[in-house]
Structure 1
């Protein structure tokens, strides 16, 4: 890195590349180049996103010595191969989730990054809402009491109609799971991040409501998933994930209940945190003067000046770059967290296919729980 400003390249030219490029610019990075599906598209994306150049190929990007970090923003099936190549080139990597379309490959990515000694992060960016950090701090302080129950949902409507189509519905491009891998992964990451406890077992069902969409036929990826979870703390919970929920644009909602306090966070209304007690409730504003230090750190504008998704993404990228420079930012999601999400996603699909309860897979435990 030159003068602390990383040289950044992006693979992909779609919506997520736009979001990543805004965050890189906000972090003061040098926007070197973009590679898309063709040299012409690369040049067009570079011009649109404000990068210095379009690369003719992915290999040309990797060979550029000025590139310190590569943001992988391509369809899911390409993530693993491209991220492994970035790591092999000795560069840091920020890879969109899912890291891979299967658990074994995701584990390979974790190992490769560790062996290479590079920083490798995954954008579980909802961790970077200030009031998510406030919720986490209150749980960690014991204010919640003993954790009892969790209810969580992530609802969207962008695939509501049968005429709605996207590359993600095709398992060849998106992987075995769609709705859960795409948005359910954020939900479970946030649950474990806020509560500090892990999901150990789950049961559930998935549904594909439309086997055909637009130009895509024989669809097997799920539109919705309903899951019951058990956590290592003894708590239980329910999760609902859907991309066919009318009126819900990006509604990620979590409520955790303890013996003393309930805490509720809604990503579509991220400026307040709901605190529920038997003797009364409170809406806590995003006001740095009232927040724990880690939440206040991420509250970059005064209360009453709304913050949102791009702000959270900017904070994630800034912390990723800080880690590349040798710092240790609090709560930074790394490839091991991406692997964790892949394991939970696999367990959800296995539970739906087999029935009964499934233990979250790990290298040393059996996946299936005996009846």
Structure 2
């Protein structure tokens, strides 16, 4: 007998009608949930997006959406500055919530959401979806069982080019909508989450620089949040590393790369080529494929098609949403990123801004 999909019987609401709303809606449908309602910046845009994405109806406002009793879980996919208020409203309505990152633009708001979710007893997750590539789980498993040996160094980067020129513009460059941090809060948060998830080690000290290279854009003048950040880090376990985050790297579309060097073995993952994991050894480095016969149970849990049939970002996102719905049903999936992980990202982001402002090392609060 085939097990029911984790979203079977769940009614889903989405706040927002842009690209991320499309990704969330597609993943919700794959998990077996029903797309019930969508709200956006106006009743007209909500009606249009609802029709395009296959929702039963558009809602005139978030309040209207939360009054819909057929909605069980709400995905928040709006500009960053709205996340905290809207996620809090969803929790207050007694529903489970999936909130896009950054969870909040301040540590205080993120901490308040963690406390509210715990008090309400609701499932509250953040889509750090790169955790859900099978070979990321393989890398994490290899580190945890000691294959890499003592952790020595980390070299990680997340590079994009979509905001390279002055003609490139987006609401995220407006600090009132995107937050005081842009590149790091939006994609550096993914990078730090992946580093800490794979290694099981926390970053405890940071020094670095942020830069705004394009201050005047097509529709925004005097941009203050950063285009790039370059960091040196220390971990609780004694490793050192470098992190580079940029949205102005020509030719790099969405290149998240993580390389960890241990005393016994190195490993590297590139999310633009997620079907192989590089294993570095003193004698003979190898490329490990996604293959049930060669991978751990932790990796195979997220392999949805046989080796040789490529998986990628949509599959990772779908796995995250499926695990979020499983948690809403009372399960406890390993490695599910919850609001506490969103708070961690906010703490690290704030530490990055402090390090850049003070021109020295800063401690990252636990």
Does TM-score exceed 0.5, indicating one fold? Answer: yes
Match of 1:122 in 2: 126
Count of aligned pairs: 362
Q: In the TM superposition, what whole-angstrom CA distance separates every residue of 1:71-129 from its partner, at most 9, and x where no partner exists? A: 00000000000000000000000000011110001000000000000000000000000
- The equivalent residue for 2:146 is 142
In structure 1, the partner of 2:155 is 151
Describe the SS at the equivalent of 2:204.
Answer: strand
Q: 1:73 aligns with which of 71, 77, 93?
A: 77
Deviations 1:216-242 (Å, cap 9, x if unpaired)?
011100000000000000000000000
Secondary structure in 2 aligned to 1:257? strand
Deviation (angstroms), 1:42: 0.8
| Counterpart for residue 174 of structure 1 | 178
**8 Å contact from structure 2 (residues 7, 31) kept in 1:** no
SS of structure 2 residue aligned to 1:135:
helix
d(CA) in 2 for partners of 1:5 and 1:361? Answer: 41
* Partner Cα distance (2:54, 2:293) in 1: 37
- TM normalised by structure 1 equals 0.96
Partner residue of 1:39?
43
Structure 2 distance, partners of 1:360, 1:296, is 34
Indicate if the aligned counterparts of 1:4 and 1:325 stay in contact, CA closer than 8 A.
no
**Is the aligned partner of 1:232 residue 2:250?**
no
Report the counterpart of residue 337 of structure 1 in structure 2.
341
Shift of 1:24: 0.1
Superposition TM-score, scaled by structure 2 size: 0.98
Gaps of 5+ in 2: none
Pick closer, same or farther for the CA change 1:3–1:49 going to 2, 3 Å: closer
Match of 2:67 in 1: 63
**CA separation of 1:219/1:3 partners in 2, compared to 1, >3 Å: closer, same or farther?**
closer
**Aligned positions of 1:256-335 closer than 5 A:** 256-335=260-339
How far off is 1:64 after superposition? 1.2
| Deviation for aligned residue 1:302 | 0.7
Contact kept, 8 Å, 1:83 with 1:93, in 2: the verdict is yes
| Aligned mates of 1:17, 1:319 — CA distance in 2 | 18
Provide, for residues 22-78 of structure 1, a one-character-per-residue CA deviation record: whole Å limited to 9, x for no partner: 000000001101001111111110110011000122111111111110000000000
Aligned residues of 1:131 and 1:273 also touching (Cα < 8 A):
yes
The structural deviation recorded for 1:361 is 2.3
Provide the residue aligned with 1:357 in structure 2: 361
Unpaired stretches in structure 1, ≥5 consecutive residues: 363-371
Provide the aligned C-alpha RMSD in A. Answer: 1.2
Structure 2 Cα separation of the partners of residues 215 and 326 of structure 1: 46
Partner SS for 1:64? coil
Cα offset for 1:6? Answer: 1.1
The list of structure 1 runs, each at least 4 consecutive aligned residues, that deviate by more than 6 angstroms after superposition, is none
